[in-house]
Structure 1
Amino acid sequence: MKRNLFLKYVMLLLLTTLVIPSAVFADDTEVEIPTFTEGSVHDPSVIKVDDTYYVFGSHLGVAKTKDFMNWTTVAAGVNPNNPMFDNVVEELKEALEWVESDTLWAPDVIELNGKFYMYYNACEGSSPRSAMGVAVADDIEGPYKDQGIFLKSGMWNQASEDGKTYNANIHPNAVDPHAFLDKDGKLWLVYGSYSGGIFILQMDAATGLPLEGQGYGKKLMGGNHSRMEGPYIQYVPETGYYYLYVTFGGLGADGGYNMRVVRSENPDGPYVDAEGNDMTTVRGANGTFFDDKSIEPYGVKLIGNYLFENMTSNSAGIGYVSPGHNSVFYDEETGKQLLLFHSRFPQRGEQHEIRVHQLFMNDEGWPVVAPYRYAGEKLEKVSSAEVSGDYKFINHGKEITEKIKKSVMISLLADGAIAGEVNGTWTIEGDNKANLIIDDHAYHGVFLKQWDPISKSDVMTFTAVSEQGMTIWGSQQEEMSDEDTVGYVKKVLKLGDTRAIIADISLPTTSSFNTEISWKSSDSSIISEQGAVTRPYAKETATVTLTATISKNAIIATKSFKVVVLPTDGAESVSEEKTDVAAAAVTKTTNQGVWIGLMLLAIGIVIFVVIRKKRLNGDK
């Protein structure tokens, strides 16, 4: 009997072990690690069909996903085997021959009248000679049937779509289409790249073709070959605005591609940026090509080249190079927004992949982009204790540049101050609204916990946009060992250009993470350990080595800097000598004058007394 009871107990224990999830027995700190399957589609334009999300891109690349994290390739390459067409080379022969090319550029697909309309385009590449048409299919994955070309550009010395001779300074390049329905159900098509700028056409929803008599449509921004392309318009009911996303710069790894956004109350504009600038006036200077300086102050810059550095190892960290040509998925039921784009990466050349980041609207009605790729995160209530700490910080600024902005360290202190590489204040409003003031600029956004692929953990982040249209990101840094801390400070410690010093040098004595820095000079008569500079009188420069000792607790490291101090100018010395001689001469002259004056005064007094005495005697 006892043996039977024992066997029953063992069986019950085994069943319990099988039934109860293993997570119950796991460490409370265990974190579910997200998985990603990469896809490579350039210029991804998103469309949802049932429970699947598709992106269509250049070279007839197509991929799909159910979670925005794991992608499956559907099609790639403009060749007879691409499943989107029975034979795309034959089907779109007219467009390919017109532009003298063998490939297609960024398309867009929209569902209309129970069918799928693909707005395709082809371009010669070195000129704006392009053709845009529409093909229709019953199924999202094709096959698509061409309905013909409806727009051309680059017809040199010929009448263009508006009846005037084509002029690439003012007329658009007929590429990069995006078709969308406005809040009233009207169909529009926005398009354009470089050349005359970004334009918009009103379309016939029944045919998918432009309404007659519009020519190239209405201009929204750009011109004079300014580098703007890849327009995408998304209406957001919560704010009542249409948001026009556009990418500035060049798409290559050295092109400085970066995403920007402007907004309007109407689908066809006018669109303005955060400072209220009318984008219809934004273009390159007359007579220029690719005049980035004329356009980079405008638009709200969302993402450019950046790198969140790895603070605890020599690996490169996480970042993007030339991210851009985006689309947006807006969930009408939940209001959730996702930004889809392609990006290149540091030290990986021209290799590119799809990336998806979540979008949020700040209190000013501008979208802010989550710093890390989407991994299913949600906005939640955060506390000051969770937010305060050390952060890797990126300011995307407004530049169009191929340079990669590397993170710097800042601290969000418990008292609401911001210290480190930038200074200011921070507050939480409501559950998760982020308000930061940095260098006198106010930024508004959100605090959000996200998956950090460097630390492989969920970390606090922030994203915010300023009233000047600049985006900042922060990623909370895990607590580092003293060795890692000192190593990081040594890595980032700089004195600037020390090749021609003529004034005192500012030598930092403290840095991030409570590290201390002391200095030693190889020649304190030229540069003191406090940074005071005494320039030599010799004709030759003086070279001094400044050595920093960086310490935290028992960990110590040193870093040396060679400093070249220029001699004083000979003219300065002569001038100083002349000044001294002149001053001495003035002093001497002044002293002589005083003595002569005193002597004359004494003689005058004596004469006065003598004369006065004689007069008195005569009277007697």
Structure 2
Amino acid sequence: MAAPSDNSNPDHPPGKFSETEKYPLPNQGHLNVHDPNIVQYDSSFYLFQGGIQVLIFKSSSLSGPWTKIGTVLDGPTVIEKQNQTRPWAPTTVEWNGQFYCFYTVSEEGIRNSAIGVASTDSIDSGSWTDHGGLVYTEKGHLSHVWPYTVSNAIDASFIKDQQTGQPYLQYGSYWHGIFQVPLAEDLLSVKDPEHPDAKNLVFLPEEKSKPDEGSFMSYQEPYYYLWFSHGKCCHFGNGFPAMGKEYSIRVGRSKDVRGPFVDHQGKQLTEGGGTIVYDSNHGVVYAPGGLGVLPANSTHPEILYYHYRMTAT
């Protein structure tokens, strides 16, 4: 299931858009959104969209139609950083009878970022409480603590250790890649915040540019799967990168939630590994990424969803 981004109909420079048929064309979600996040609850699907106050849409089908039902925030986030009214990349989870939405406060190309969290008792109520920041990088509370000194606090995702029940937050983009930190039981802070038991999960040690971001973790016994976006995501107004340098969806797996994660060739993701699962294709789908995975249930198998840029309509 895929959602086209809202910057469609680019010119077609030769040799930039892959015509491969190796990957299937996506099933359309019929909603233009960057970094979609989808939760299934009580036979309905809820889609969370970054932007003004974090929009929430609801549908009975992944194909839509989607109805806007509210926003996560009532106004600017309480996190005192730039871009307070337009949080990015939300990830919402159900935990102990409540819903928690992790969101990013940042601007493109900087590391002065934060990941915040809001919660509600009812996903349909339209009433959320903004609890503020969990992780700050460059500036803010405990930003002097490693790994916040080398990472970028954007693109949060969530996973629970299947054996211990311990909740974890994944985050990160460029700089030193993707990290994982354990969360407190109430999900409102990092566990032992001054001494976080952090793990670096994805890194490109040999490359000057390190375009790994947008991680998501899923579980299918006996493996945890770490999905992420690699490459240039957007802002192609000044030209398109060489073919293959745009976003693609990659993955590694591990039997331990803490890693190390390896690709299908056994290369660790911290050494630049990552199996390409989905890439630009058919001359139509460009730069797929910003992904998530809906777990399997009685009505459908696991579903990979993502955004992409349409090269034709």
Measured against the shorter chain, the TM-score band is 0.7 to 0.9
- Structure 2 segments unaligned to the other structure (5+ residues): 1-26
Determine which of 147, 171, 179 is the counterpart of 2:131: 147
- Which amino acid in the other structure matches residue 40 of structure 1? N
- Aligned partner (choices 209, 212, 217) of residue 228 of structure 1: 212
Confirm or deny: 8 A CA contact 1:122 1:132 kept in the other structure.
Answer: yes
Report what 1:125 is aligned to.
Answer: 108
Shift in CA distance, 204/272, structure 1 to aligned 2, threshold 3 Å: same
Which of 176, 188, 203 in structure 2 is aligned with 1:196?
176
Alignment of 1:537-576 (within 5 A): none
Q: Find the counterpart in structure 2 of residue 263 from structure 1.
A: 253
RMSD: 2.6
Q: Which residue of 2 aligns with 1:406?
A: none
Give the corresponding residue for 2:18: none
Output one character per residue of 1:561-620: Cα deviation in whole Å (capped at 9) or x when no partner: xxxxxxxxxxxxxxxxxxxxxxxxxxxxxxxxxxxxxxxxxxxxxxxxxxxxxxxxxxxx
TM-score, normalised via structure 2 length? 0.78
Query: 2:63 — aligned with what?
Result: 69
Q: Deviations over 1:15-42 (max 9, x none)?
A: xxxxxxxxxxxxxxxxxxxx96711221
Q: Give the one of 339, 360, 364 matched to 2:304.
A: 339
Which residue matches 2:294? 329
Q: Is the 8 A contact 2:279 2:288 kept in 1?
A: yes
Is 1:272 equivalent to 2:258 in the alignment?
no
Question: Equivalent residue for 1:217?
Answer: 198
Richer in helix (by share): 1
Which residue, out of 64, 71, 75, partners 1:88? 75
CA distance in 1 between counterparts of 2:148 and 2:213 reads 23
Distance (whole Å) between structure 2 residues aligned to residue 106 and residue 207 of structure 1: 18
The CA deviation at 1:152 is 0.5
Instruction: Report the CA distance shift for 1:190/1:165 in structure 2 as closer, same or farther (over 3 A).
Output: closer
Q: How does 1:514-553 map to 2 (within 5 A)?
A: none
How many Å apart are 1:207 and its aligned residue? 4.2
| Partner amino acid, structure 2, of 1:88 | G
Look up the match of 2:143.
160
Determine the structure 2 residue equivalent to 1:246. Answer: 228
Alignment of 1:261-300 (within 5 A): 261-282=251-272, 298-300=273-275
Change in 2 beyond 3 A, CA 1:215/1:160: farther
Contact 1:181–1:188 (8 Å) recurs in 2:
yes
Query: Is contact 1:260-1:299 (8 Å) kept?
Result: yes
State the match for 1:179 in structure 2.
Answer: 158
Counterpart selection for 1:305 from 276, 280, 287: 280
Q: Is the 8 A contact 1:251 1:257 kept in 2?
A: yes
Paired AA for residue 108 in structure 1: T
- CA–CA distance in structure 1, aligned partners of residues 302 and 147 of structure 2: 41
Match of 1:43?
35
Q: Is the 8 A contact 1:182 1:235 kept in 2?
A: no
Q: Deviations over 1:231-281 (max 9, x none)?
A: 0000002xx111100000111153611101111111111000111011122
- Output the CA distance in 1 between the equivalents of 2:121 and 2:147: 38
Q: Equivalent residues in 2 for 1:364-383 (5 A)?
A: none
8 Å CA contact retained: 1:111, 1:117: yes
- Distance (whole Å) between structure 1 residues aligned to residue 39 and residue 62 of structure 2: 12
Distance 2:211 2:183 in 1: 26
Q: Distance in 1 between the 2:29 and 2:281 partners?
A: 23
Matching residue of 1:483:
none
CA distance in 2, matches of 1:260, 1:275: 13
CA distance in 2, matches of 1:114, 1:192: 28
- Once residues 266 and 224 of structure 2 are traced to their aligned partners in structure 1, the CA distance between those partners, rounded to angstroms, is 15
Q: Residues of 2 paired with 1:163 and 1:230: CA distance?
A: 20
AA partner of residue 346 (structure 1): T
Quote the Cα distance in structure 2 between the aligned partners of 1:123 and 1:165: 14
Shift of 1:227: 0.2
1:107 maps to a residue whose letter is P
Percent identical among aligned pairs is 27
Q: Which has the higher contact order (CA 8 A, sep 6+)?
A: 2
Task: Give secondary structure in 2 for the equivalent of 1:99.
Answer: coil
CA–CA distance in 2 between the matches of 1:233 and 1:164? Answer: 20
Instruction: State the 1:102 CA deviation.
Output: 4.0
- Structure 1 counterpart of 2:117, from 121, 134, 137: 134
Cα distance in 1 between the residues matched to 2:47 and 2:147: 36
1:88-108 Cα offsets, whole Å, 9 max, x none, are 22xx1x32x423554211011
CA 1:106–1:37: 2 relative to 1, 3 Å? closer
Could you say if the C-alpha distance between residues 265 and 38 of structure 1 is closer, same or farther in structure 2, counting changes exceeding 3 Å? Answer: same
Q: Tell whether the 8 Å contact from 2:88 to 2:103 is kept in structure 1 after alignment.
A: yes
Q: Shift of the alpha carbon at 1:196? A: 1.3
User: Secondary structure, in 3 states, of the residue corresponding to 2:252?
Assistant: strand
Question: 8 Å contact 1:172–1:197 — kept in the other structure?
Answer: yes
**What is the identity, as a one-letter code, of the residue corresponding to 1:263?**
R
Q: State the 1:83 CA deviation.
A: 3.5
Residue-pair matches, total: 271
Quick one: structure 1 residues 100 and 72, their matched pair in 2 at CA, closer, same or farther if it must change by over 3 Å? closer
Q: Which amino acid aligns with 2:191?
A: L
The CA deviation at 1:73 is 3.7
Deviation sequence 1:301-350 (CA, Å, 0-9, x none): 11211116xxxxxxxxxx301111110011244771111111111146xx
Write the distance in 2 (CA, Å) between the matches of 1:164 and 1:43. 24
Distance in 1 between the 2:290 and 2:138 partners? 22
**In the alignment, residue 177 of structure 2 is paired with which amino acid?**
G
In structure 1, stretches of 5+ residues that fail to align are 1-34, 76-81, 283-297, 309-318, 349-620
Q: Write the letter of the residue equivalent to 1:204.
A: A
Residues 124 and 130, structure 1, Cα contact 8 Å, conserved in 2: yes
